[in-house]
Amino acid sequence: MIGVFDSGLGGLSVLAALVQALPQADFRYYADTAHVPYGNKSDEQIQRRVLAIGGELAGMGCDLLVVACNTATAAAVQALRAAHPSIPVVGVEPGIKPAAQETRSGRIAVLATESTAKSARLHKLIRDHADGIDVHVEPCPGWATHVEMLQLDDPALASDIARRVEPLLAQGVDRIVLGCTHYSFLAPLLNQVIGGRARLVDVADAVARQARRLSDHLPHGGGRLHLHASAHPERLYAALPRLNLGHLAPRVA
């Protein structure tokens, strides 16, 4: 059984890739909807939530954990690994490395929550994998909350996306890293602004491949999905079709 969690709906983008890579596995998805968003919280607050959820999922029999949240990974993946040394933990980090390898202009940007944008982990990732590349880090407060409220048609969101992304394109950025799992659901809106001038970089498939490697030894499941949320669990199921993930609904146990 694979436990996957996020502050809310964002990690469902990673879950979709995991289900595709491991169709026979059983999953538990936990959305911390009582505490979303994480992006404006302190590292200590995020660590407390990550340890509580990781403990709960381990207690429910999960033998592999996927932290489907860049913010939680940056603030707390080390603490989670230390708390559960016998359980493999896969984190999600912005795709700086693929973006730096693929860019032609030598200019890339990362869209992230405020917490991830200022995290030591992101800045180390940039130092380690984007030597000689111009990396612009753009914090995007409020975007995850729009996804969470399923307010994807809100004109205020569309104009904030344009306001943040247009200047990046004007500077010649040709790879834009989705540094928050919620932003995968904003890809259509982002691509409307980008209009072919840059490519989005999403690591969901790479995370799923890593989880598949680490799950080799796990017993096969029945392809079931258990949904949990710290508030309004019913909204999680209802959100699936709204996020174009209706194909996951028949798996829900």
Query: Would you please indicate which residues are annotated as catalytic (active-site) residues?
Result: 69, 180
In whole angstroms, what is the distance from residue 29 CA to residue 203 CA? 18
- Residue indicated by tokens 């798996």: 251
Distance CA(116)–CA(216), nearest Å, equals 31
DSSP result, 169-197: HHTT--EEEE-SGGGGGGHHHHHHHHTTS
User: What gap in Å lies between CA 46 and CA 142, rounded to an integer?
Assistant: 17
Q: Minimal distance in Å, beta carbon 181 to ligand DGL? A: 4
**Burial class (CB within 10 angstroms; exposed 0-12, middle 13-18, buried 19+) of 197:** middle
Per CB under 6 A, which region of 51-59, 120-128, 180-188, 216-224 contacts ligand DGL?
A: 180-188
Q: Is residue 29 a contact residue for ligand DGL (CB under 6 A)? A: no
Stretch that binds ligand DGL, among 6-14, 81-89, 102-110, 127-135 (CB under 6 A): 6-14
Site string (211-250) toward ligand DGL, x via CB under 6 A: ----------------------------------------
Distance CA 11, CA 32 (A): 11
From the list 64-72, 124-132, 166-174, 240-248, the region that binds ligand DGL by CB under 6 A is 64-72
Binding mask 126-165 for ligand DGL (x = CB under 6 A): ------------------x---------------------
Residues of this chain that bind ligand DGL (CB under 6 A): 6-7, 10, 36-39, 69-71, 113, 116, 144, 180-182
